[in-house]
Amino acid sequence: MKLRLQITLAFSLLSGSLLAQIPALERVEPAFWWVGFKNPKVQLIVHGNQISGKTVSLNYPGVKLSAVHKVENANYLFLDLSVNAATRPGKFPIVFKQAGKKDLVYTYELKQRNKGTDWAQGVTNKDLIYLLMPDRFSNGDQTNDVVPGMLETGLHRDSMYSRHGGDIQGLINHLGYLKDLGVTALWMTPEIENDEPHASYHGYAVTDYYHIDRRFGTNDLFKTYVAKSHQLGLKVIKDLVHNHIGTESWLIQDMPMKSWVHQWPKYTNSNFRDAAVMDPHGSAADRKQMLDGWFDKRMADVNQTNPYVQNYLTQNHIWWVEYAGIDGLRLDTYPYNDPVYMADWAKKLKSEFPHLSIFGETLVWSVANQAYFTQGNTVNRGFDTQLPGITDAQIKDAITEALNGKEGWTDGVNRLYNIVAQDFMYQDATRNTIFLDNHDMSRFYSVVGEDFTKFKSGIAMLLTMRGVPQMYYGDEILMKGYSNPDGLVREDFPGGWAGDKKDKFTAEGRNAQENEAFNYVRTLANYRKNTAALQTGKLQQYIPRNGIYTYFRYDAQKTVMIAYNGNEKEAVLNTDYFTERMAGFNTGINVITNEEIATLKQLSIPAKTTLIIELSK
């Protein structure tokens, strides 16, 4: 049976057997809420067998049932509640009545908002993000490896497309390792339920928006993870998927209405062409397919122009931030979302959490394409996207070109110079997340041909460039692999599982070069953590000369010089060219080796090597 037909049948009248499986009151979401939000309105989605035939009432001081919405599917009601500013926290019954039948009662709770200083504190260019996939990082609780009743029950570490058993407890067990490395913020790929029959370990095919996947842990454990991270000075980023939903979700198996997802006469993928969204000469058909086409047959494309969908998603994200104290949000597949809704979404999240950080995934092909999605670029859009920053794939590609390419007018080190020179397109490029690799692309160490010198130079540029640096798990121990065909970019972190032959979370488990890589990252990451000039300082770059790219990060306290030799042989850098920035500085300290540099007049730089020098007067 074709998927399109399956979706239609899921919406239409249910078979008697399936209908009988839905309880009279199956769920209410959000299951609880808080008093004290700036927006006093909350919309509850109620799911139950023929629930629309019932009348609804509640009685609680300060709470008004403003409207009851019946939709196409009789198994749903949408309840609009208004919670005024003076409402006290507490519990009250919501009663569902129908003549001749027993009343159904749901006890709703309004909680007091958290006012902690480490609640939704934001992730900024002062931080270093560590990205990991919970299924592949560490298995801290073997009792949740296989959960009876879920659609995928196997555990096969020899397959890149099966579940491996990693979980949130495994991450908690290694927070000290990450703290020592110099990391200040953690980003897991989505940890909410993905109850699909195969290859949903990655988390991007959500089937339950309000629950952590039981194979990763529980909601309480997730909240504990955030609290323990905060205790160690580590911030937490949550990965959100607005664009699509797993087809096994209860919201798809029994859709509230046909328009909950984008429907097509036959299965239609997105064309994956972000240019169709911004092209002033483009066709409406191309733009529609880009935005409304499905990401995958197992990932239904959510219709974000539907007001019920809008409320549901926005409230869910507010709920998670308030519930757990999340500091930042990464938005998956940002260009595929409805632009107007995403701007409204961002405005509402910022209103409730002023310090919350937000950045969108934009794996696109030019600086202009990236900048188009960021806030402040209203001329060609007619509205402000409210999106502070993006994943800066152009910096990633430019660093790779600087390391692997041959010098040319726009090639080699000149590519990186030219990309940085285009920062004028952003309202604030320092809000962009910069990276060398991630879970969707070949690992950085493999991309540079397992050249250790290039590896160190790439890390050096990542941790000294403007923006918010992000590392991918295992980069610090030289994990390698290509995205195609073997998928080893998502390999397990060695030592994260009981019985692993080597534990590379420890120096004893790593070989000499892995320890050198780890110590290089740790030295520079911790130096960055204690050096404001590399976080919020200004950046000044110079046109590359003779294959050497030089830039400075500086503030009133410190000036740091970064010079990368992109040549295949050692080169000498004459620093007279940099008098504008170096005037008054006579000596320096090599940040990595801590060796004093007695004179800055001329610097000999080995091939493919990056020098990082803290200048002294």
348-366 pLDDT per residue, tens:
999 999 999 999 999 999 9
pLDDT at 379: 76
State how far the alpha carbon of 469 is from the alpha carbons of 114, 148, 403, 521, in Å: 29, 40, 18, 12
Spatial distance between the Cα atoms of 117 and 369, rounded to a whole number of angstroms: 36
Looking at residue 433, its amino acid is T
Digit-coded pLDDT (tens) for 426-449: 999 999 999 999 999 999 999 999
Q: What is the tens place of the pLDDT at every residue in 131-178?
A: 999 999 999 999 999 999 999 988 999 999 999 999 999 999 999 999
pLDDT in tens, 496-521: 999 999 999 999 999 999 999 999 99
| pLDDT band, residue 11 (cuts 50/70/90) | very low
Q: Cα(254)–Cα(248) distance, rounded to whole angstroms?
A: 10
SS (H, E, C) 531-580: CHHHHCCEEEEEEEECCEEEEEEECCCCEEEEEEECCCCCEEEEHHHHHH
Nearest alpha-carbon partner for 3 in 326, 214, 261, 227: 261
Confidence of residue 248 (pLDDT cuts 50, 70, 90): very high
Alpha helices by DSSP H, 193-283: 219-231, 250-253, 275-278
Distance of CA 86 to the CA centre of its chain: 36
Answer whether residue 326 shows pLDDT above 80: yes
Percent of the chain with pLDDT over 70: 97
Q: What integer pLDDT is reported at residue 115 of this predicted model?
A: 82
Instruction: Give the single-character DSSP code of 149.
Output: T
- Rounded to an integer, what is the distance from CA 403 to the centroid of its chain? 26
> Do 129-530 and 537-616 agree at the fold level?
no
256: helix, strand or coil: coil
Cross-strand bridge partners of residue 563: 550, 611
Domain residue ranges of the chain, discontinuous segments joined by +: 3-112, 129-530, 537-616
CATH topology of domain 3-112: Immunoglobulin-like (2.60.40)
Reported confidence tier of residue 20, pLDDT bands at 50, 70, 90: low
570 is catalytic: no
Lowest mean pLDDT among 206-215, 442-451, 482-491, 563-572: 482-491
Judge whether 347 and 386 are in contact, CB under 8 Å.
yes
Q: Provide the pLDDT for residue 19.
A: 55
Confidence of residue 15 (pLDDT cuts 50, 70, 90): very low
Please tell me which residue in 167, 332, 514, 614 is annotated as part of the active site.
332
Q: How confident is the model at residue 531, as a pLDDT?
A: 98
Q: Which two tokens stand for residue 238?
A: 């949550």
pLDDT of residue 377: 84
Q: Any residues with CB less than 8 A from the CB of 477 and at least 6 apart, and which?
A: 494, 504, 510, 514, 517, 518
Q: 129-530, which class in CATH? A: alpha beta
Q: Give the pLDDT band of residue 16 (cuts 50, 70, 90).
A: very low
Identify whether 332 is a catalytic site residue.
yes
d(CA 252, CA 260): 8
Q: What is the DSSP letter of 148?
A: T
Q: Which of 361, 423, 475, 476 is catalytic?
A: 361
- Answer yes or no: is pLDDT of 597 > 50: yes
Which pTM does this prediction carry?
Answer: 0.96
The CATH code of domain 537-616 reads 2.60.40.1180
Q: CA separation (Å) from 532 to 63, 104, 315, 553, 562?
A: 47, 58, 36, 9, 15
